[in-house]
Structure 1
Amino acid sequence: MNEKFKATLKSSETEDWLDLHVIRPFCYYCAVFFAKFDVHPNTITIWSMIIGAASAWFFAQGSWYYSLQETGSIWQGLIYNIIGIFLLMWGDIFDCTDGQLARMTGKKSRLGRILDGLAGFTWFFPIYVALVIRFYMHHDLEFQWLGIENTEQNTLIATGVVFVLALISGLWGLQGQQRLADYYIQVHLFFQKGEKGSELDNSTRQKEIYEQLPKDTPFYERWFQKSYIEYTKKQENVTPEFQKLMAKLHEKYGSSDNIPQEIRDEVRSQSLPLMKWNGLLTFNFREFWLFLFCLIDIPVGNFLWEIIGMGLIYWYVNHRHETFCKKIREKLG
């Protein structure tokens, strides 16, 4: 593996196979290109948000089954889906590129870290709204399977149910799952590389940063920072045993730099097998299922999968991580 390329990665241990061998190498060359023109990583992040969010319109129009019923051809709906897939993948490529560009050029910033964490939510919020609209417009197939009469009243009721599923899928599923996955990546990097090699944040420190912002700080930066406090609080709320472990380590050793290497190695060895499961909560695996359900023309299936299937993976990763954190803390006395 090229050393310059490796330097742009957080760690090969926290990347899944597709990212490490396909997406990240491609994004490295994108980062080299943007570095030549002195493009700031935050600019790439904003582009990724706009491009990824633009895919929502195409997913809303992407029903090939109903295109076949109305025009006698599947191509119109299929092409809309393909364009939506292309745009979302393009947004993801730029989302990967911004981090590699930041590490390549040294242009890291607190705002960049916050923007990067928001990118996926910026894509999926309009996409989920688009899928609810798509169900409202095209639901004959689902009504036939369930034996529901296709009336305006039934359509409104069913669309309301799908909207609730989209809310649960987005707020509890997507946001909660990706927030936890990102946190566990930073935890792993903290014990692998130390505090300087990770971006492991805590809400107390983020609140201090917010309170110390100068009065002339732009309103959007203040809003992002305040949102990030809540983001880190939610990460901490679902990892109580890890928080107790960190408190114990700070009580026993003071600075994080003083944590003995054998403890770091033990946490890392327990965390490493979970990284492949943790990776399933990030974009690539989630993207696959979204594309599949859109292509088979049952987009509501994506919400059910995210709540049930991804929810079980989330529970497994969280349970395993909390269990070994508790055992290590108890060994410390």
Structure 2
Amino acid sequence: MKDKHSLITPDGEQQPSEQPSIFEQSLKSNDTEERIDIWFYRPIGLRIAKFCAYAGITPNAVTIISIFFGVAAGILFYYPQLWINVIGMGLLVFANSLDSADGQLARLTGNMSRFGRILDGFAGDFWFASIHIALCLRLMQDGWSAWVWVPGVLAGVAHVFQSAMADYYRNVHLYFIKGKTGSELDNSKNLQVDFDALSWKKNFFSKFVLNGYMGYTRMQEGRSPKLQKLLAVVKERFHEQLPAELVHDFRALNKPLMKYTNIVQFNTRVLFLFLWIFIDQVWLYFVFDIFVLTPILIYMVWRQERVSKEILEKIEDNKYNG
């Protein structure tokens, strides 16, 4: 008897399928996908991924191309002319389609690597650094003082934390529901071992990149102490073979958190960015990032810690030993 798989349809519903479609194989999981991605970015990304697979273009090459389009989009937001801004919006949407395609291509071809994951994460940072710089310069051109760089930089720092924690929580969720092979979850201890094995003389670039990524991972871990304790206990007690009941309980408690990880990442912030540009009030983008998305981040961290504490208590009560 063939295994049945859950297929994500364009309306976001799940339907049983005898075999996973190519579209389904290109996704991370039902739980972590956002509807606008399912409806728009993932279908476009799949077409790009198929073309790249045929042409022999690697996921990392797609990521690098996305950086150029994303940065170009940010530059176009500097200009006050709306028609130029609309071109920038189109470039940013295409950059995100490429960002979707690189991951889909990697999953379909099995061409996944830690460097690719690091590069993919930095791509978005390049896009939004360009956007923040362009908006600050635009506001100064409109008569704002140099103090505009304060909220611009604060919003940029907030964005980095929001994206980092959202990405981390998604990978934690994938680890629990799909196992180690279905997640890109890293930890600083393993990264330190790999870092120490590299030579600055022979592997300067790899060691430099890994050093930065190790700091990034430590930042994620430092803001989730109860989650770190849960992961340590789970690995020690169950050795990557998680009991089905534990997976069920974690998924039930944690799945509602996924909508907050989606809110603080690309789609919501870009929809509002486009709105602020259309009404020529781009300063609102910094306000939105600091005073709307950051409180959501704080709630997200608090919520994840509560989930981790609850699962830990169940493990300590030996609920999953039988």
The TM-score, its normalising length taken from structure 2, stands at: 0.89
Within the candidate set 13, 32, 36, 2:31 is matched to: 13
Structure 1 runs of 4+ with >3 Å offset = 214-220
Q: Is the 8 A contact 1:12 1:20 kept in 2?
A: no
The question of 1:314 aligning with 2:300 is answered no
Matches of 1:261 and 1:214, distance apart in 2: 42
Q: Is the 8 A contact 1:290 1:299 kept in 2?
A: yes
Question: Counterparts of 1:181-330 in structure 2 under 5 Å?
Answer: 181-213=166-198, 219-253=204-238, 255-257=239-241, 259-330=242-313
> Which deviations, in whole Å up to 9, do the C-alpha atoms of 1:143-167 show, x marking residues without a partner?
xxxxxxxxxxxx4xx322x201111
Q: Is the 8 A contact 1:49 1:122 kept in 2?
A: yes
Return the letter of the residue paired with 2:314.
Answer: K
Within the candidate set 159, 180, 190, 2:146 is matched to: 159
> Which deviations, in whole Å up to 9, do the C-alpha atoms of 1:30-51 show, x marking residues without a partner?
1001111100110000000111
| Post-superposition offset of 1:216 | 6.2
Q: Which runs of 5+ in 2 are unaligned?
A: 1-6, 8-19, 317-322
| Post-superposition offset of 1:318 | 1.4
Match of 2:4 in 1: none
Return the letter of the residue paired with 1:7.
Answer: Q
Q: Is the 8 A contact 1:135 1:159 kept in 2?
A: no
Match of 1:106 in 2: 110
Identical-residue share of aligned pairs (%): 37
| Post-superposition offset of 1:12 | 2.0
The question of 1:57 aligning with 2:43 is answered no
The TM-score, its normalising length taken from structure 1, stands at: 0.86
Aligned residues: CA RMSD:
1.5
Match of 1:68 in 2: none
Within the candidate set 8, 16, 36, 2:54 is matched to: 36
Query: Quick one: structure 1 residues 216 and 104, their matched pair in 2 at CA, closer, same or farther if it must change by over 3 Å?
Result: farther
Higher relative contact order, chain-length normalized (CA < 8 Å, sep 6+): 1
Return the letter of the residue paired with 1:256.
Answer: E
Matches of 1:251 and 1:48, distance apart in 2: 40
Q: Is the 8 A contact 1:280 1:286 kept in 2?
A: yes
Count residues in correspondence: 298
Question: Over alpha carbons, which structure has the higher Rg?
Answer: 1
Match of 1:95 in 2: 99
Matches of 2:188 and 2:31, distance apart in 1: 26
